[in-house]
Structures are given as C-alpha cells and as structure tokens.
Amino acid sequence: MPNDPPDIPSDQLPRHVAVIMDGNGRWAEKRGLPRIEGHRAGATSVRRVTEECARLGIEQLTLFCLSSENWKRPAEELDFLMQLLQHYLAEERPRVMEHNVQVRWIGRRKGLPDDAARGLDEIVEYSAGNTGLRVCLAINYGGRAELVDAARRLAEGVVRGELDPDAIDEQALAARLYTAGLPDPDLLIRTAGEMRVSNFLLWQISYAEIWVTDVCWPDFDEAQFQAALQSYASRRRRFGGLPT
C-alpha cells in the first residue's frame, strides 16, 4: 500500500465511488481453482479498497456484491457466497470501528436467507454511530427492481390520498429509492473488462464517470484504484451543459 495519497486535490476526488466487482470466477478458473476461491480472494480486495477510501476521505463506497439475477448460479456457489458474507461481516467489525466506517445495505430483503439478512442488520446497527466513510453493500439488488419498488411506493401514496399524481417528479421518485438520502455516484468502476452496467444503480449513475479495467476483482489493488481516481480527476464534468 502506498504511503502517501495520490497527488489529487481533495476537491477533485469523487464523493461517491460505486464498483461492479467482476471477474472472481474467471480469476479462479485461470488458476485452476474452484470459482469459490475467486470469491474468497475478492474479499481481500474489498478490504483494500475500503481502507483506501477511508484514508483518502472519500464519502461513500457502494459495492455490487450480489445481484438479484445471481440466484441463477449453482446452489453450491450461492451457499458459499452467503457463508462468506456472514464470515466477512463478523470478521470486519474491528476494522469497521477502527476506520470509523458506517455500513449500509441496499436490495430486496425478500429472497435473502434469514441469517444473511440478520448479519447485515447487525453490522448496520453496530456501525450506525460512525461518521467516516459510508460503505453501502448492494446485496440481492437489481436496478430495475429498485425502480419498480419505488413506483409501487408512489402508487401507494396516490391511492392513500397522500400524493397528487401531478406532484410526482424526479425528487419524489428518488426519495423512494433504496438509496434515498445518499449521494449519487460520481465514479463507477467496473473490473474484468466488461463494458456494461449490469442493472446496477440505473437511476443513480445517470451522470457518473465510468472507468473500466481488464483486471479481475481479486487483483484490483490500491494502484488500480488510484489510476481510476486520476482518470476521474482529469475529466470535465458538464452534466449536460457547457464548461464555464
């Protein structure tokens, strides 16, 4: 790990970095290992990037851990992922407190094993008083499902007479997303070279800068992360307008 932060002014760092952590299975297969060993190695990269974000003063890190579509994978792999999640949540508690990290999680509770949901609830409650980096874990998450759930909440408000349909705007919908109250991502990182967003934070990444690397997630380290930050700092963000 480098001893000094990258030479980027703090006002040019992203407030919120979102990561599609891809390539665990391919990393393992290239080494003749079971896919589950790629997931185990990927947990180390989660720790590295989380600590680097905390060190640099980045406000939020959102990690795409398990999509709602991933339940199509073999049962053995899914069972291991749930066990790894619970082990990771328990093992990381001391580091969460040491680095003043607040943990959140987004996604549908329905369909998530009770033990996993309980472990997530516990670390969210355990870290609620921390004031540093916010780490948001997207688990059993899908961007389209999130929009459906938000639309359902809007419809329920209209039916109850609490909301005028003509008053529904972007702010009203955003307030009913899983991420309500959280900043939108400034930078979206995807590992393993895939050039798609895979149903991740579809509403929230409307103006995010995207950075893709061929490096698989288990090999993603501080140097890779800092390269993404340097690329972000070099870009001119217009948000549909013209630079002044």
Q: Which residues are identified as catalytic? A: 22, 70
Burial of 210-242, coded b for 16+ CB within 10 Å and e otherwise, reads bbbbebbbbbbbbebbbebbeebbeeeeeeeee
Give every CB contact of residue 63 below 8 A, 6+ residues apart in sequence.
Answer: 18, 19, 21, 46, 135, 136, 137, 138
Q: Give the integer Cα–Cα distance in Å for 195 and 30.
A: 21
Q: Which two tokens mark 153?
A: 């909440």
CA–CA distance, 188 with 62 (Å, rounded to integer): 9
The candidate with the shortest Cα–Cα distance to 98, out of 34, 51, 64, is 51
CA distance 179 to 134: 12
Helix axis angle for 114-126 and 75-91, nearest 10°, is 20
Judge contact between 21 and 218, C-beta under 8 A.
no
